[in-house]
């Protein structure tokens, strides 16, 4: 298995704005412009799932980290790196390595102090494991850049960071980190935190050499999914399996904010006690990316709908596979991918995509923001 040949245009910025590329961009712009509804089943949105409440999690340090970062920026950087809370750019994130529809400030262009201030926001939003995972995926981006001789286009800092809203005024606010294989959206409404959509991926998933040799990703997400399916009896496997061939990509990736997807697979309610414990450990790998307090809130939210949660599977547990966890309040996808940077045209374990979503209007904190504005501003939207 080799690398795909380098060619023009370079990875970071298209040198040729071909009709095909322009059509792709236009489709994305149009998709993001469609009013947000959120992921639903064929039955449509299910209301009342995300009450506006207090969690008791202290967000003071996180808000101050955002204030410190904003205070360090120049007026020009503030113009480019800060957006109104409902700016459509929230929905312009994308996994691709090439640079288009990117917004905010590129971490590569910030001096070390400003970059550290941006990273401090991530540290306080995420758990230690979640923060390390994001860093590792950014470092693996440099690994593929080293292998391809394209470290100017593929490195650990070619990621765009944006602040939304007004943290310094105690109003709803959030941040977005956007780049190749790392797309994380974080919204805070009061002390409630929403960390979706969050797309994380890697190619390769292990750095066998280079600056970050030994870095690896998704070993536990892969192993626990494999372990869960392998524990099923024949009848459970038949019910969990939803197709014979892996899908071409994740169903609810970028620019699919309003996608319709029905529940499929084996309900958690039909798992044995041991299998249910494994399934929840799998879910917690994804919900546990948030800081400890908010991860616990999210875990309880998911547990409240455990009997409505389904596990779906495609593939070979000893080879390549896809799995999905889907309930009214969470949607997780994991898949082994064909090569993009490598030249394999069939899936291998060297390329992995994952995503976490909050269905029924929960992504981007949209339902919480709706309730906040109804409670505090009538129908008026603040910045």
Do 274 and 328 lie in a common domain?
Answer: yes
Q: Are residues 248 and 155 in the same domain?
A: no
pLDDT digit string, tens, across residues 158-193: 999 999 999 999 999 999 999 999 999 999 999 999
Q: Which domain holds residue 231?
A: 219-364
Q: Is residue 265 part of a domain?
A: yes
Same-domain status, 189 and 226: no
- Do both 57 and 182 map to the same domain? yes
Tens-place pLDDT, residues 273-315: 999 999 999 999 999 999 999 999 999 999 999 999 999 999 9
Percent of the chain clearing pLDDT 90 (strictly above): 89
Average pLDDT over residues 360-372: 98
Question: Do 179 and 90 belong to one domain?
Answer: yes
Is residue 64 a part of any domain in this protein?
A: yes
Q: Is residue 24 part of a domain?
A: no
- Assess whether 234 and 355 both reside in one domain: yes
Looking at the domain assignment, is residue 210 inside a domain? no
Beta-strand pair 331-337/348-357: antiparallel
Q: Binning pLDDT at 50, 70 and 90, where does residue 380 land?
A: very low
Task: Count CB atoms within 10 A of the CB of residue 43.
Answer: 9
Query: Do 160 and 260 sit in the same domain of this protein?
Result: no
Q: Compute, in degrees rounded to 10, the torsion defined by CA atoms 143, 148, 150, 153.
A: -70
Is residue 193 located within the same domain as residue 68? yes
* Alpha-carbon gap, residue 192 to 57, rounded angstroms: 8
Classify residue 125: in a domain, yes or no. yes
232 shares a domain with 193: no
Domain count, the chain: 2
C-alpha distances (whole Å) from 136 to each of 140, 168, 180, 202, 215 are: 6, 30, 13, 9, 6
Structural contact between residues 252 and 326, judged by C-beta atoms closer than 8 angstroms: no
Joined together, the tokens standing for residue 192 give 């409630």
Inside any domain, residue 96? yes
Model confidence at 16, pLDDT cuts 50, 70, 90, reads confident
Cβ(333)–Cβ(251) below 8 Å: yes
Q: Is residue 238 part of a domain?
A: yes
Are 195 and 223 found together in one domain?
no
Dig out the tokens for 79 from the structure.
């113009």
Triad 95, 176, 283: Cα angle to 5°: 70
> pTM, whole model, 2 decimals?
0.95
What tens digit of pLDDT does each residue of 89-117 get? 999 999 988 777 899 999 999 999 999 99
| pLDDT tens figures, 211-235 | 999 999 999 999 999 999 999 999 9
Kind of pairing between the strands at 198-202 and 182-189: antiparallel
Give pLDDT tens digits for 110-138.
Answer: 999 999 999 999 999 999 999 999 999 99
Whose tokens are 């870095």? That residue is 215
3-state secondary structure the chain: CCECCCCCCCCCCCCCCCHHHHHHHHHHHHHHHCCCCCCEECCECCCCCCCCCCCCCCCHHHHHHHHHHHHHCCHHHHHHHEECCCCHHHHHCCCCCCCCCCCCEEHHHCCHHHHHHHHHHHHHHECHHHHHHHHHHHHHHHHHHHHHCCCCCCCCCCEEEEEEECHHHCCCEEEEEEECCEEEEEEEECCEEECCCEEEEECCCECCCCCCCCCECCHHHHHHHHHHHHCCCHHHHHHHECCCCCCCCCCCCCCCCCCECCCCCEEHHHCCHHHHHHHHHHHHHHHCCECHHHHHHHHHHHHCCHHHCEEEEEECCCCCEEEEEECCCCEEEEEEECCCCECCCCCEEEEEEEEEECCCCCHHHHHHHHHHHHHHHCCCCCC
Measured distance CA(276)–CA(269) in Å, rounded: 8
Per-residue pLDDT, 15? 65
> Where is the domain boundary, 148, 164, 199?
199
User: Which of 138, 164, 199 is the last residue in one of the domains?
Assistant: 199
> Tell me: the pLDDT tens digits for 322-332?
999 999 999 99
Query: Would you say residue 6 lies in a domain?
Result: no
Residues 342 and 246 in one domain: yes
Q: What is the pLDDT of residues 22-79, one digit of tens each?
A: 898 899 999 999 999 999 999 999 999 999 999 999 999 999 999 999 999 999 999 9
Q: How far apart are CA 95 and CA 159, in angstroms?
A: 11
Statement to judge: residues 341 and 263 lie in one domain: yes
**pLDDT bracket for residue 14 (50, 70, 90):** low
CB 13 within 8 A of CB 98: yes
């Amino acid at each position: 298995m080799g690398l795909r040949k380098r060619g023009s245009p370079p990875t970071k910025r298209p040198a040729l704005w071909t009709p095909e590329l322009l059509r792709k961009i236009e489709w994305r712009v149009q998709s993001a412009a469609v009013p947000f509804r959120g992921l639903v089943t064929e039955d449509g949105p299910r209301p009342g799932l995300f009450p506006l409440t207090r969690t008791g999690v202290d967000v003071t340090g996180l808000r101050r980290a955002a204030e410190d970062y904003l205070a360090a920026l120049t007026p020009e950087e503030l113009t480019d790196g800060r957006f109104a809370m409902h700016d459509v750019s929230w929905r312009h994130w994308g996994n691709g390595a090439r640079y288009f529809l990117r917004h905010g400030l590129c971490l590569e262009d910030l001096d070390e102090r400003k970059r550290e201030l941006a990273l401090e926001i991530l540290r306080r939003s995420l758990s230690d494991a979640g923060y390390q995972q994001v860093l590792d995926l950014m470092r693996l981006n440099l690994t593929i850049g080293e292998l391809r001789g394209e470290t100017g286009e593929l490195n650990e800092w070619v990621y765009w960071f944006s602040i939304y809203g007004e943290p310094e005024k105690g109003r709803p606010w959030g941040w977005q980190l956007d780049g190749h294989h790392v797309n994380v959206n974080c919204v805070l409404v009061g002390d409630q935190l929403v960390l979706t959509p969050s797309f994380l991926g890697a190619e390769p998933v292990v750095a066998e050499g280079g600056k970050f040799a030994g870095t690896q990703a998704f070993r536990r997400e892969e192993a626990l999914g494999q372990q869960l399916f392998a524990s099923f009896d024949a009848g459970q496997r038949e019910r969990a399996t939803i197709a014979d061939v892996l899908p071409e990509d994740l169903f609810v990736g970028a620019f699919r904010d309003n996608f319709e997807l029905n529940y499929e697979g084996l309900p958690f309610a039909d798992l044995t006690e041991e299998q249910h414990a494994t399934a929840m450990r799998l879910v917690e790998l994804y919900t546990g990316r948030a800081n400890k307090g908010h991860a616990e809130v999210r875990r309880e939210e998911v547990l409240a709908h455990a009997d409505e949660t389904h596990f779906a599977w495609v593939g070979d547990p000893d080879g390549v596979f896809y799995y999905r966890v889907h309930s009214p309040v969470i949607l997780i996808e994991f898949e082994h991918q064909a090569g993009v940077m490598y030249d394999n045209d069939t899936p291998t374990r060297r390329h992995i995509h994952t995503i976490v979503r909050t269905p029924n209007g929960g992504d981007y904190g949209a339902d919480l923001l709706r309730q906040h504005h109804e409670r505090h501003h009538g129908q008026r939207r603040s910045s």
